[in-house]
A and B are shown apart, each in its own frame.
Chain A
């Protein structure tokens, strides 16, 4: 697996700075949690890595080389809204097959789809369904399977559980942990939910107003926060949980 590193990345839209000199490394086989409030630039950082947001300064490197932002990206992304991330007119199988790197024969393609669906704990029969027949949690697993189909070296997960019901969220989080353990995936896991990040991430970076204010091992950052803003975030959570 590979190392994804953001080096002094800036993203500006006109006079509006979304990301300001952000440096962050997702080490091989590691899950890095990125937390912060809405509008702080979390999603923009992920979108910049796959060429969906214009990088106005700095570099984004994959194993020391710039990430290509044309053709099939070695970095794949899973989006927040399970209802918008699958084409409503394509079957699950077609959506997954579209992301595969090589053109396979019909049999080999079916086998690969079945293998990928099994990875995300879905039945092979689902391949013939259109997304309208799946629940939110099932759609999000299909989206993960599609990302895996492209044989990515790194996966960016952008708030993938925040639109899901809590009972389904647990299953997706377990899946993410299984995949890291079994496939050794490197992952940037973006979430506003500190408890969720604490559960899946080895490292945590705290993004505030386009800057990374704190970064380190999860236990350290959430257990003994150094930065004022991290403490502020944690206080908001623990106050909710006092009772």
Chain B
């Protein structure tokens, strides 16, 4: 019950409990008073005896509002149930009945969704006749298309998942796939939406009864009471407003509850207050990037995640440094922290973090950094805004940071696209990102970094999403850009071959720490950390011995919420002893391992 932890959830559920209580026990508690006719006290105003007055037969209106709760809520729930069941049937049908009929159903639903809801309600209300049952059917039917559309979208999304395909290949029938795999996985959003819809349905009912199309005398719901009270609204406003307030409160109860469940975020414990600011240290001279004691902490559901735990390194002017490691090693988080792209509640601490001469730990550094930092991300599809043309997106950099005119900036964008070897740059600059291939988008992204005069390029898995032949072009382009501009490069990759190909120096990360730092050319042959050696040996290449099994690293990566006090790699390390498990090794002379002397042998 995560929803209960938020004020909205508490208010919604509390109100809903109250409304349901009144609906359940209202007729028992107030039923008698609501029917007592008092001819001596007709159409009276509020008094101590009658809180919101009496009606034209002298019956107590407060009691009648309480009694009407049951019928109002029951009708609303019944209509919502009709909408939900019909909606699920219509929404799931296309999955069961085959392509052609399914498409017909989907189109029909789309047409119905386009009709104004109230129009449908009135249409059905006339068809089914005046009265409570007719109104419930009308409101239920009118609400079905919206649920059908939602359900169809959700079903379509889940049907795309591989586990549904796997179940079908395994011979599970379509109906069973729907019941076992699809419906359970879409239940949550459907229930949330039904709860919120119930609030709206309540209002629609009140409207129908108010119009005289809904509940008929002698039965009464809130809408009917409002209609009865309307005649005397200038004399006794509370007679009409009383039931109105009931509708509003009950509607709010449903809506707030639904809202609270819909928005209930994964519970995360906030981080404890920052420790004393770490001792400030001075950046290393002659570097484009100097990092000392970088720590990144991310609030998580099971306590803080220490993604980066004290990383110190530099990238010299014009140097190319690679960072390798597996997922969860903290390499991408390091890149994001260095690029200044992490925001609270994620906490970034460092003794210093200086990029191109700007201390990122100081306020406003990002703005001053301007175009001396360029960043290339893994997925070239999401790093461009799909709604804007490529040229203007590049030009924006120069307009913002260098104050260029629109025309001059666009001309520079075309020039930069040419520099990253995109053919016909003038025409391409006027195209949208989806018209570019993956490799071309990645080159355009590098081109965006070149709009200014970068001293440092941070590339986070820039070739992972690309085919091998395109990978080569992008890596060659990065090398060429470095040659031409003299920019330094920080390249993050899980691919050892990519890093050794491009970089001068390599940092190997494991569990948020740098475990080894060595020249790229030595990575395959002279590594001293057992993790580095295992990582390199685990990757098959075109010379791998086919007669032997591949080297594997036993065990599992470290759970980032529970990093051991000793060496994080010790549980998977064949060399580890009690000392390794107790004391974390420091990075000394390029390697963080107590056993590096043994490993090297």
Instruction: Please report A residues at the B interface, Cβ cutoff 8 Å.
Output: 37-38, 50-52, 71-73, 75-77, 79-81, 84-90, 95, 98-99, 101, 135, 143, 146-147, 149-150, 165-167, 169-171, 173-174, 177, 192, 194-196, 198-199, 222, 232-233, 236-243
Contacts and interface: CB of A to CB of B under 8 A. Distances in A.
Contact of A79 (B166, B171, B475): B166
B456 interface: no
A237 B468 contact: yes
Nearest to A194: B542
A213 to B, nearest CB: 14
A157 B556 CA distance: 24
Given A166-B494, A167-B535, A240-B501, A85 B162 contact: yes
Q: Which of B165, B170, B472 has the largest count of A CB atoms less than 10 A from its CB?
A: B170
A72 B544 CA distance: 38
Nearest to B541: A195
A199 B166 contact: no
Given A77-B166, A146-B166, A166 B468 contact: no
B175 to A, nearest CB: 14
B540 A195 contact: yes
Q: Which of B168, B169, B550 has the largest count of A CB atoms less than 10 A from its CB?
A: B169
B163 interface: yes
A192 B166 contact: no
A146 to B, nearest CB: 7
Given A84-B161, A99-B170, A198-B542, A170 B550 contact: yes
23 contacts: A38-B467, A52-B168, A77-B165, A77-B166, A90-B180, A90-B181, A98-B172, A99-B166, A99-B167, A99-B170, A99-B171, A146-B166, A149-B170, A165-B557, A166-B326, A166-B535, A169-B539, A170-B553, A174-B549, A194-B542, A236-B468, A241-B542, A243-B501
B75 interface: no
A192 B161 CA distance: 22
B184 interface: yes
Contacts of B86: none
A72 B171 contact: yes
Interface string B414-456: 0000000000000000000000001000000000000000000
B391 to A, nearest CB: 26
A171 B469 contact: no
Contact of A174 (B498, B501, B552): B552
Given A37-B467, A165-B494, A173 B540 contact: yes
- B contact patch SS: helix
Contact of B552 (A52, A170, A199): A170
A120 to B, nearest CB: 14
B586 interface: no
A101 B520 CA distance: 52
A240 B498 contact: yes
Given A37-B468, A99-B170, A177-B549, 13 more contacts: A37-B469, A37-B470, A38-B467, A72-B170, A87-B163, A99-B167, A135-B556, A143-B166, A165-B494, A166-B326, A171-B550, A198-B542, A199-B544
B576 interface: no
Contacts of A232: 469
A166 B538 contact: yes
Q: Which of B165, B468, B496 has the largest count of A CB atoms less than 10 A from its CB?
A: B468
A81 B546 contact: no
B327 interface: yes
Contact of B540 (A76, A196, A236): A196
Contact of B542 (A75, A85, A173, A237): A237
Q: What 3 A-B pairs are tightest by C-beta distance, nearest first?
A: A72-B171, A99-B170, A170-B550
